[in-house]
Amino acid sequence: MNSVAQPFLLAIDRFSAAVGKAFAWYILILTFGETYEVFVRYALNDPTTWAYDVSYNMYGALFFMAGAYTLSQNAHVRVDVWHRLWRPRVQAGIDLVLYILFYFPGVIALIYAGYGYAGESWRYHEVSVFSPYDIPIYPLKTLIPAGGVMLFIQGIAETVRCVVCLRDGAWPPRLKDVEELETAILHEHEAAMQRAADASH
Protein backbone atom coordinates (compact mmCIF):
# COMPACT_ATOMS: atom_id res chain seq x y z
CA MET A 1 0.00 0.00 0.00
CA ASN A 2 2.85 2.34 0.80
CA SER A 3 4.37 2.10 -2.68
CA VAL A 4 0.94 2.68 -4.24
CA ALA A 5 0.00 5.55 -1.94
CA GLN A 6 3.33 7.38 -1.98
CA PRO A 7 3.07 8.96 -5.46
CA PHE A 8 -0.49 10.08 -4.60
CA LEU A 9 0.66 11.62 -1.30
CA LEU A 10 3.63 13.41 -2.85
CA ALA A 11 1.47 14.73 -5.71
CA ILE A 12 -0.87 16.38 -3.21
CA ASP A 13 2.12 17.67 -1.22
CA ARG A 14 3.60 19.22 -4.38
CA PHE A 15 0.29 20.88 -5.23
CA SER A 16 -0.04 22.35 -1.73
CA ALA A 17 3.60 23.46 -1.80
CA ALA A 18 3.24 25.14 -5.20
CA VAL A 19 0.22 27.16 -4.08
CA GLY A 20 1.73 27.98 -0.68
CA LYS A 21 5.04 29.11 -2.16
CA ALA A 22 3.30 31.24 -4.78
CA PHE A 23 1.44 33.12 -2.05
CA ALA A 24 4.57 33.22 0.13
CA TRP A 25 5.87 35.99 -2.16
CA TYR A 26 3.34 38.18 -0.41
CA ILE A 27 5.62 38.13 2.63
CA LEU A 28 8.26 40.06 0.68
CA ILE A 29 5.72 42.63 -0.52
CA LEU A 30 4.29 42.94 2.99
CA THR A 31 7.75 43.46 4.46
CA PHE A 32 8.62 46.26 2.05
CA GLY A 33 5.19 47.85 2.39
CA GLU A 34 5.21 47.86 6.19
CA THR A 35 8.82 49.09 6.32
CA TYR A 36 7.97 51.95 3.98
CA GLU A 37 4.86 52.79 6.03
CA VAL A 38 6.83 52.91 9.30
CA PHE A 39 9.47 55.14 7.70
CA VAL A 40 7.10 57.70 6.19
CA ARG A 41 4.81 57.67 9.23
CA TYR A 42 7.45 58.23 11.90
CA ALA A 43 10.38 59.78 10.04
CA LEU A 44 8.45 62.03 7.63
CA ASN A 45 5.15 62.33 9.51
CA ASP A 46 3.35 61.51 6.27
CA PRO A 47 1.56 58.14 6.61
CA THR A 48 0.20 56.41 3.53
CA THR A 49 -3.46 55.74 2.85
CA TRP A 50 -2.82 52.40 1.17
CA ALA A 51 -0.53 50.42 3.51
CA TYR A 52 -3.35 49.09 5.67
CA ASP A 53 -5.30 47.90 2.62
CA VAL A 54 -2.27 46.13 1.20
CA SER A 55 -1.39 44.41 4.48
CA TYR A 56 -5.01 43.45 5.22
CA ASN A 57 -5.59 41.80 1.85
CA MET A 58 -2.20 40.21 1.40
CA TYR A 59 -1.99 38.81 4.90
CA GLY A 60 -5.50 37.42 4.58
CA ALA A 61 -4.66 35.78 1.25
CA LEU A 62 -1.43 34.35 2.64
CA PHE A 63 -3.20 33.00 5.72
CA PHE A 64 -5.88 31.19 3.71
CA MET A 65 -3.71 29.81 0.93
CA ALA A 66 -0.65 28.69 2.90
CA GLY A 67 -2.57 26.49 5.35
CA ALA A 68 -2.48 23.36 3.21
CA TYR A 69 1.25 23.80 2.54
CA THR A 70 1.88 24.13 6.29
CA LEU A 71 -0.12 20.95 6.90
CA SER A 72 1.82 19.10 4.19
CA GLN A 73 5.02 19.92 6.09
CA ASN A 74 3.48 18.77 9.40
CA ALA A 75 4.16 22.26 10.73
CA HIS A 76 0.84 23.22 12.32
CA VAL A 77 0.93 23.80 16.06
CA ARG A 78 0.28 20.76 18.24
CA VAL A 79 1.24 19.64 21.74
CA ASP A 80 4.50 18.06 20.53
CA VAL A 81 5.75 17.47 24.06
CA TRP A 82 3.35 14.48 24.16
CA HIS A 83 2.90 13.62 20.52
CA ARG A 84 6.59 13.11 19.74
CA LEU A 85 7.00 10.68 22.65
CA TRP A 86 4.39 8.24 21.34
CA ARG A 87 5.14 5.35 18.99
CA PRO A 88 4.25 6.06 15.32
CA ARG A 89 1.18 3.80 15.39
CA VAL A 90 -0.17 5.61 18.47
CA GLN A 91 0.49 8.97 16.81
CA ALA A 92 -1.26 7.82 13.64
CA GLY A 93 -4.25 6.39 15.50
CA ILE A 94 -4.84 9.55 17.50
CA ASP A 95 -4.26 11.78 14.47
CA LEU A 96 -6.71 9.74 12.40
CA VAL A 97 -9.44 10.05 15.04
CA LEU A 98 -8.83 13.80 15.31
CA TYR A 99 -8.96 14.24 11.53
CA ILE A 100 -12.29 12.41 11.34
CA LEU A 101 -13.93 13.98 14.40
CA PHE A 102 -12.65 17.56 14.21
CA TYR A 103 -10.56 18.40 11.15
CA PHE A 104 -12.87 17.37 8.32
CA PRO A 105 -16.07 18.71 9.93
CA GLY A 106 -14.32 22.03 10.56
CA VAL A 107 -12.93 22.25 7.04
CA ILE A 108 -16.27 21.30 5.48
CA ALA A 109 -17.95 24.01 7.57
CA LEU A 110 -15.29 26.49 6.40
CA ILE A 111 -15.93 25.62 2.75
CA TYR A 112 -19.71 25.79 3.16
CA ALA A 113 -19.77 29.07 5.08
CA GLY A 114 -16.97 30.56 2.98
CA TYR A 115 -18.84 29.79 -0.22
CA GLY A 116 -21.85 31.66 1.15
CA TYR A 117 -19.77 34.65 2.27
CA ALA A 118 -17.94 34.82 -1.04
CA GLY A 119 -21.12 34.48 -3.09
CA GLU A 120 -22.87 37.23 -1.16
CA SER A 121 -19.80 39.45 -1.42
CA TRP A 122 -19.64 38.98 -5.20
CA ARG A 123 -23.36 39.70 -5.60
CA TYR A 124 -23.04 43.28 -4.36
CA HIS A 125 -19.33 43.78 -5.11
CA GLU A 126 -18.41 44.32 -1.48
CA VAL A 127 -15.79 46.93 -0.71
CA SER A 128 -13.78 47.52 2.44
CA VAL A 129 -15.43 49.87 4.92
CA PHE A 130 -11.98 50.64 6.35
CA SER A 131 -10.45 51.82 3.07
CA PRO A 132 -10.60 55.41 1.83
CA TYR A 133 -10.42 53.97 -1.69
CA ASP A 134 -13.29 51.49 -1.26
CA ILE A 135 -11.11 48.64 -2.43
CA PRO A 136 -13.00 45.46 -3.42
CA ILE A 137 -12.72 42.60 -0.96
CA TYR A 138 -14.83 39.98 -2.75
CA PRO A 139 -11.68 38.47 -4.33
CA LEU A 140 -10.24 38.04 -0.83
CA LYS A 141 -13.43 36.40 0.42
CA THR A 142 -13.25 33.98 -2.52
CA LEU A 143 -10.06 32.64 -0.96
CA ILE A 144 -11.99 31.43 2.11
CA PRO A 145 -13.66 28.47 0.36
CA ALA A 146 -10.62 28.06 -1.94
CA GLY A 147 -8.33 27.70 1.08
CA GLY A 148 -10.85 25.30 2.62
CA VAL A 149 -10.77 23.10 -0.49
CA MET A 150 -6.96 23.09 -0.35
CA LEU A 151 -7.08 22.02 3.31
CA PHE A 152 -9.62 19.30 2.47
CA ILE A 153 -7.41 17.86 -0.27
CA GLN A 154 -4.31 17.94 1.94
CA GLY A 155 -6.37 16.41 4.76
CA ILE A 156 -7.11 13.42 2.54
CA ALA A 157 -3.37 12.92 2.08
CA GLU A 158 -2.78 13.19 5.83
CA THR A 159 -5.53 10.65 6.52
CA VAL A 160 -3.96 8.22 4.06
CA ARG A 161 -0.61 8.77 5.82
CA CYS A 162 -2.24 7.79 9.12
CA VAL A 163 -3.65 4.59 7.59
CA VAL A 164 -0.27 3.69 6.06
CA CYS A 165 1.48 4.31 9.39
CA LEU A 166 -1.05 2.18 11.26
CA ARG A 167 -0.36 -0.65 8.86
CA ASP A 168 3.43 -0.33 8.55
CA GLY A 169 4.38 1.09 11.94
CA ALA A 170 6.27 4.01 10.35
CA TRP A 171 5.26 7.30 8.80
CA PRO A 172 5.56 7.44 5.00
CA PRO A 173 8.09 10.01 3.75
CA ARG A 174 6.99 13.59 3.16
CA LEU A 175 8.06 15.98 0.45
CA LYS A 176 11.34 17.44 1.69
CA ASP A 177 11.37 21.18 2.14
CA VAL A 178 12.70 23.84 4.46
CA GLU A 179 12.51 22.97 8.16
CA GLU A 180 12.47 24.89 11.40
CA LEU A 181 15.80 24.68 13.19
CA GLU A 182 14.26 22.69 16.05
CA THR A 183 12.89 20.10 13.62
CA ALA A 184 16.21 19.84 11.78
CA ILE A 185 18.06 19.29 15.07
CA LEU A 186 15.51 16.65 16.13
CA HIS A 187 15.94 14.77 12.85
CA GLU A 188 19.71 14.97 13.15
CA HIS A 189 19.51 13.59 16.70
CA GLU A 190 17.23 10.73 15.59
CA ALA A 191 19.62 9.86 12.75
CA ALA A 192 22.59 9.88 15.14
CA MET A 193 20.74 7.61 17.57
CA GLN A 194 19.89 5.23 14.72
CA ARG A 195 23.52 5.15 13.58
CA ALA A 196 24.64 4.42 17.14
CA ALA A 197 22.08 1.60 17.43
CA ASP A 198 23.19 0.11 14.09
CA ALA A 199 26.85 0.28 15.14
CA SER A 200 26.16 -1.56 18.40
CA HIS A 201 24.74 -4.60 16.55
Domain count within the chain: 1
Sorted by sequence, the CB contacts under 8 Å of residue 97 that are 6+ apart come out as none
pLDDT tens digits, 55-89 = 888 998 998 999 999 999 887 776 677 777 889 99
Of residues 51 and 93, more confidence is placed in: 93
pLDDT band at residue 111 under the 50/70/90 scheme? very high
- Predicted local confidence at residue 159, as pLDDT: 96
Quickly list H helices, 73-177.
80-83, 88-98, 104-123, 138-168
Please check the confidence at residue 156 and state whether its pLDDT lies above 90.
yes
CA neighbor of 71 nearest in space, from 5, 172, 152, 188 = 152
How close are the terminal C-alpha atoms of the chain, in Å? 30
Asked whether 47 and 37 are in contact (CB, 8 A), the reply is: yes
- Distance between CA atoms of residues 22 and 13, nearest Å: 14
How many other C-beta atoms lie within 10 A of the C-beta of residue 16?
25
- pTM (2 d.p.): 0.81
Q: DSSP states of 43-93 as a string? A: TSS---SSHHHHHHHHHHHHHHHSHHHHHHTT-S---HHHHTTS-HHHHHH
pLDDT tens digits, 11-62 = 999 999 999 999 999 999 999 989 999 999 999 988 888 888 888 889 989 9
- Predicted local confidence at residue 48, as pLDDT: 86
- Distance between CA atoms of residues 68 and 79, nearest Å: 19
Q: Which domain holds residue 101?
A: 2-200
- Predicted local confidence at residue 15, as pLDDT: 94
Q: Average pLDDT for residues 137-161, to the nearest whole number? A: 94
